[in-house]
Every structure is written in C-alpha cells, then in structure tokens.
C-alpha cells in the first residue's frame, strides 16, 4: 500500500503514528537540572515509522549563519576571571524523501544554536537543528514549550563576533610565469611537476614550490 502513496500521504501516516516522545534526557546538575527530549529518543521513535512508510530523511544542506565568542567576567577576592564560550548558529534544510519515487520530497528548514567552552558548539547546533526538524515535521508532542522558559545559558556574557575565515590568496599571472620558467629551466614541463595545474595555487603553495624547485637538480644535469 505504501508504494502507491505520495510523500504527503506518507508523512501524514507517519505523523498519525508518532504521537509523543518522552523526556528521558537529564541536562545539568542540581537546581539548574532539567529533563529534555534527547536525539536518541527522537530517532528511536522516527526510524521504524519511516521504514514502514518508505520515507528517508536527512540534512541536505547546512549553513553557518552566525558564530562568535561569548565572554563573562567574574570576580573573587579581587581577582577577575574571564570565561569564554564558543557559540554557533546553523540553518539546516532537512529533506524527507519518498524512497519509491526519490524525485518526490519535502524540505523543512530549521535552526540550531550550540554553545560550548571547547569544540562541541558545531555538533550541538547541528544536533539541535536535526532533532527539531524531525519533531516539527512529524508534529511530535514532547510537553516542551520554549516560550515557557527564558534561556539562561548565555546570561552575563558579552558577545564578540568571529570573522569567517578568509579565502586563501591565489598567485598572480606574474608568479605563474616565474614558476613556469623555473620549471622549464630545470628541464621539466609544468604538467610533469603540477599534474593538476598551477591556476589554483595559493601564495603559500607557490612559496613552497619555489623552494623545492630551487633545490632540485636539473633533469639533464
């Protein structure tokens, strides 16, 4: 029966079978701890239903839309301590595909924030976005309402923007000519030394190549 259903009917059937996911994840410690819906619980609920109705879902596109460093300063006995947290916000396009007709799919865009003192901010942001794509697509009830509670994770922090990494500078036409002449003076062709060509060489790669070429013995020497 599923083979004759379009993607909308499959999503509707899946939605009717996944009604609620329990909050089994313990977050934090002491008075600040709370219960949340974990990614593992969402996947455990979704995967068998997607298999039953022939739906394959996956993140087809991600984009970093904001990143930065959050800083807070605390003082104890006259000594100030600065605490840094890395923050990242990603947008994710999550795709739900009819496995019997892969050209038929539904895309849902979600967003996720990740904050971590080390290197886990990107993973947290992606996990959050993916989890909520599934929750919203299948209209799964969790008992959570984000509007009921203020987010206190970044309270007391000031934010510093982190610039996106710059594209590496490519070598100029003059540098290419110098490189070609140096290669030919050694008795080689550019294709022999650089099978992939020299148009995409960066300034750093150019400097390394020139150093290596100068140390090479001539081919017929």
Residue 97 sits in the same domain as residue 32: yes
Pair (157, 185) in one structural domain: no
- 29 and 107 inside one domain: yes
The pLDDT tens digits of the residues spanning 52-109 come to 999 999 999 999 998 888 777 777 777 778 788 888 899 999 999 999 999 999 999 9
Question: In this structure, are 92 and 178 located in the same domain?
Answer: no
Report the distance separating Cα 93 and Cα 111, nearest Å: 9
Same domain, 96 and 184: no
What integer best gives the mean pLDDT of the chain?
Answer: 81
Instruction: Report pLDDT for 74.
Output: 77
Report how far Cα 204 is from the mean position of its chain's Cα atoms. 27
Q: CB neighbours of 176 closer than 8 A, spacing ≥ 6? A: 198, 199
Other residues' Cβ atoms within 10 Å of the Cβ of residue 63: 11
For residue 19, give Cα distances in angstroms to 16, 68, 71. Answer: 7, 37, 40
**Band (167; pLDDT cuts 50, 70, 90):** low
Question: Do 19 and 103 lie in a common domain?
Answer: yes
Which pTM was predicted?
0.58
Which of 30-39, 69-78, 145-154, 156-165 has the largest mean confidence? 69-78
Domain residues for the domain of 105 are 2-146+153-161
| Packing angle of the helix pair 203-215, 173-185 (nearest 10 deg) | 20
Q: Does 221 map to a domain?
A: no
* 52/190 Cα distance (integer angstroms): 57
């Amino acid at each position: 029966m599923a083979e004759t259903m379009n993607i909308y009917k499959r999503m509707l059937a899946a939605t009717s079978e996944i009604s609620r996911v329990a909050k089994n994840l313990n977050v934090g410690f002491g008075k600040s701890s709370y219960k949340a819906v974990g990614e593992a619980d969402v996947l455990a609920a979704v995967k068998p239903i997607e298999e039953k109705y022939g739906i394959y879902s996956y993140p087809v596109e991600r984009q970093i839309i904001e990143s930065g460093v959050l800083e807070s300063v605390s003082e104890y006995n006259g000594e100030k301590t600065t605490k840094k947290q890395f923050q990242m916000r990603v947008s994710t396009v999550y795709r739900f595909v009819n496995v019997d007709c892969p050209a038929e799919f539904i895309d849902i865009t979600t967003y996720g924030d990740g904050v971590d003192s080390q290197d886990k901010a990107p993973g947290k942001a992606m996990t959050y976005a993916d989890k909520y794509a599934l929750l919203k697509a299948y209209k799964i009830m969790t008992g959570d309402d984000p509007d009921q509670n203020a987010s206190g994770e970044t309270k007391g922090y000031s934010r510093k923007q982190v610039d996106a990494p710059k594209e590496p500078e490519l070598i100029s036409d003059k540098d290419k000519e110098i490189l070609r002449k140096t290669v030919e003076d050694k008795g080689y062709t550019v294709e022999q030394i650089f099978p992939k060509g020299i148009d995409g060489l960066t300034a750093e790669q150019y400097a390394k190549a020139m150093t290596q070429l100068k140390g090479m013995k001539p081919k017929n020497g």
